[in-house]
Amino acid sequence: MKTKSKKKNILFSLIAFFISIIAILAISEIFLRLVPISGIRYDVKKYDTLTGGGFYPNSTNFYRNTRGDFVKRKINRWGYYDKDYAKEKKKDFIRIGFFGDSYTQAIQVPLEETFHYLIQDRLKKNKIETLSFGVSGYSTYQSYLTYNKWVDFFDLDVIVYVFFGNDLGDQIKVIRKTPYRPYPYLENNKLKVDNSFKELRKNRTKFYFKFFDYLTSKFLVFATLSERIKLLNQEGVDININNEKRVINDTNIKHGTIIYPPDLDVGDKPSVWPDSLKFNAMKLEETVILNWKKHVEKNQKDFLILYIPSDIDKPTMEQDTWKPWLENFCLKNEITFIDPTSNLIKIQESGNDVFYDHFTKYGHKATAQNFTEWWLKNSLKR
């Protein structure tokens, strides 16, 4: 009898323990949802065997910046920060796909204020539908891989690569400093790819990792635990975590500046790049873009580059950007180059900031206006 009683007590203790844990997690979840805390967010990122990383479909993300702006954005069933567009294209419609990094992702503003949404709204009479495939931190090559995955699936007609100055560094391992993504490289002037991330991350395809990814995308308490474990691994025990470390920052971009490890301090400004590295980066970028263009045109679709400037505060001749090289490259290779800089400057001079941790709503508005004007001017030639 004593043995049975002892087993019952152990069983009841275990049940009580697990009920207590569940109760604590539930109370913590409710508290985190009701009381917004800087840096607390759903962890919507997930492992992707093609690009190295993406977002968990049908999840939600909170964005907060240092001045207190708050934006709640949903990720659609396809895994992108955009409306939940259908696979099938409407009759007689033209689909424009936008591919790029955090400027295309654009979580800093509501969906209705993003440039791709505004473009669709302004061109709705022309039967235009825009689809955004932006993912924070993506390199040009990762955007190209994303295009390959979706171009036929969604029957895209026009492909727009949204270029920002850090794209060159994002596809070079010694600069990006993470092994968990594919890296293109040139060998005898031919494009090769380092896919070693697949071996390094093979465990991420196992059930328990996928299940934890699901929990962190749906529950703030699990996302918080995950984030704190990552911080602990990166920072060690640090009781003085400041607000800058807490604030959400999918990438370390601050209008024209990217923070890299101190041993190779280069960003999106060409002047700080070592000459040999700069030449190789430009050559690699050109090769990736030309391969992309060739694939698009082979399928009888249109390829455009939408340039996002990183410096509008100086006269064009004084700007330290990749624009002169990229614009000349596009001209030589008959690639349409769309540059909203003039519109951005005009709005900036009117007293509305176009940049604050990426585009503000005014930056998106200026970019959409520029693209729309270009489209209407050239649509008759299509």
Question: At residue 158, what are phi and psi to the nearest 5 degrees?
Answer: -125, 130
Question: Same structural domain for residues 7 and 155?
Answer: no
Segment 182-238, tens digit of pLDDT: 999 999 989 999 999 999 888 877 766 667 676 666 666 666 666 666 655 555 555
How far apart CA 361 and CA 366 sit, in angstroms, is 9
Residues 261 and 130 grouped into a single domain:
yes
Same-domain status, 263 and 125? yes
The candidate with the shortest Cα–Cα distance to 77, out of 136, 162, 154, is: 154
Q: Structural domain of residue 13, as residue ranges?
A: 1-35
- Say how many domains are in the chain: 2
pLDDT at 235: 52
pLDDT band per the 50, 70, 90 thresholds, residue 1? low
Looking at the domain assignment, is residue 12 inside a domain?
A: yes
Query: What confidence category does residue 263 fall into, taking pLDDT thresholds of 50, 70 and 90?
Result: very low
- Average of per-residue pLDDT across 91-100: 97
**How do residues 128-185 score in pLDDT, each as one tens digit?**
999 999 999 999 999 999 999 999 999 999 999 999 999 999 999 988 888 999 999 9
Distance of CA 279 to the CA centre of its chain: 26
Residue 217 lies in a domain: no
Q: Is the model's pLDDT at 304 over the cut of 50?
A: yes
CATH code for the domain in which residue 175 is found:
3.40.50.1110
pLDDT score at 64: 82
Q: What is the pLDDT of residues 246-255, one digit of tens each?
A: 443 333 333 2
Judge whether 141 lies within some domain.
yes
Average pLDDT estimate for 301-316: 87
Q: How far apart are CA 379 and CA 139, in angstroms?
A: 29
**Domain presence at residue 47:** no
Is residue 121 one of the residues assigned to a domain? yes
